[in-house]
Each structure stands twice: as structure tokens, then as C-alpha cells.
Amino acid sequence: MRLQSACRKVSFDVVSTAFSIMVGLLIVTLIMLTDRGARWVSGLNFSPGVNAQTQSSITTTDIALPSESTGVAGGTLAVRVFAPASRNGMRHPEGAPVVILAPGADNPGSLEAPVPRASGAIRISFLYPGGRDAATQRTSAGSYDYRGESSIAAMRDVILYAAGQLADSNGRRIGDVVPVPVQTSNIGLFGSSNGGNMVVAVLARHGMQLAP
């Protein structure tokens, strides 16, 4: 009986500790989003019917983003930028916020248009190092590490690009490749399923670098 009680207590302690760690990560993330002024997930509303647009009112731009995360000299990440075609399609009159997709499962990324209901925002999809898009055959340099340090660093660089702090392989920043003003200080990270872990990981690993 004592052994069974002890086992139950150990199991309960393990579960409690795991839960505490998860809650702690969420709290740390919230602190990073507020106290440091990094507005990565601020007030974006993706309600049905808001800023609904047809595909013809969206521009699509493929860029190659230089990134040390590839582990290859001169290596680039395959990035795709979806933007409103005109000011009429922007979510805010002063500019379009930016949404970056972290897809679920353990696949090496996607170049599909993320969050269709957020068409009033500039949306970014990308391939992690070593990733390949079957539809376009575009690739990111390097080897895929299944959401490890290289993948986390790649997402960091995509965020910095969205914030206007990094340029593509042609020397253009995000404001140079889209037809509308960009709210580079209003960036949302959309983590789908396992992609939510990537959002937490990139903020935990590189939060200081990402803070304005």
C-alpha cells in the first residue's frame, strides 16, 4: 500500500511539474510579448467575413532570404509573401500587419497561403532549411533538422525580415516587395498544432534579438 501510494505521488508530482513548466513557458512568452514591446501577436482579428477578398486582389512574391540557419555559405530560405494588392484591401488604413505561419506536424514548411481570413494582412510562409515545395520545386538550402536549432533560427530570420530588419538576396526589404505600407512593428506568429511549439521556441531562444 505504501509503495502504491508512493508511486501515485511520484506520478502526480511528474504531471504537476510538467504542467507547471508549460504554464511557465506561456507566462514567459506573454512577458516577452508585452514588457519587451515585441508585438508579435497583438490584436489581430481573423473573424469570418472580415476583409474578405478574392485571390485576384492578392499579390504573391517569392523571395530568397539569406540565412545562416542553412549552415551553407550564401544559403537562402525559400520565402513567399502574400499581400493586399491595394490600400483598399489593408486591414488598417495606416498599413498592413504581418502574419507568419509556423505549420503543424514535422514537415519542413509550406509555401501555401496561410490563414485565408487574414487577407487584410501581409502573410508569409517559408520552408525550413532543407525543405522543398513540391508544387514549385523551390527549396531552402541546408538539411532539415526536424524543428531543431536550425529551424528555430530560420523562423527567427523570417521574423526579422518581416520586421524590416533583414533584406532578401536582391537587397530588398519587405516594404520594397509589397504594394502597400507594412506595419513592421505589428507581427503575428500563427502556430498551427506543432507549429505552436515553434512559436514558443523562437521567442524563448531569440526573444532578445527580436524585441524592438
pLDDT digits (tens, 9 = 90+) for 35-87: 333 344 433 433 333 333 345 699 999 999 999 999 999 999 999 999 999 99
Q: Give the model's pLDDT for residue 55.
A: 52
DSSP class of residue 109? B
Quote the CA–CA distance of 119 and 8 in Å, as a whole number.
50
pLDDT digits (tens, 9 = 90+) for 145-175: 999 999 999 999 999 999 999 999 999 999 9
Q: pLDDT exceeding 90 applies to what percent of the chain?
A: 69
Measured distance between the N- and C-terminal CA atoms of the chain, rounded to whole angstroms: 57
The C-alpha angle 126, 93, 110, rounded to 5 degrees, equals: 10
pLDDT digits (tens, 9 = 90+) for 13-26: 433 434 333 433 44
Quote the CA–CA distance of 171 and 64 in Å, as a whole number.
10
Per the listing, cell 523551390 goes with 138
Q: Give the model's pLDDT for residue 116.
A: 87
Maximal CA-CA distance, the chain: 71
Per the listing, cell 508585438 goes with 39
Q: Is the pLDDT of residue 117 over 70?
A: yes
What is the band of 114 on the pLDDT scale with cuts at 50, 70, 90? confident
Q: Give the model's pLDDT for residue 56.
A: 60
Query: Which amino acid, residue 100?
Result: I
Residue of 24 and 110 predicted with greater confidence: 110
Q: Please state, rounded to an integer, the average pLDDT across all residues of the chain.
A: 80
What is the pTM for the complete model shown?
A: 0.75
Quote the CA–CA distance of 163 and 185 in Å, as a whole number.
6
CB–CB of 73/100 below 8 Å? no
Residue 100: all three cell numbers together: 507568419
Starting at the edge strand found earlier in the chain, the sheet holding 182-191 runs 58-66, 76-84, 122-126, 96-102, 182-191
Q: Is the pLDDT of residue 1 over 60?
A: no
Q: pLDDT exceeding 70 applies to what percent of the chain?
A: 73
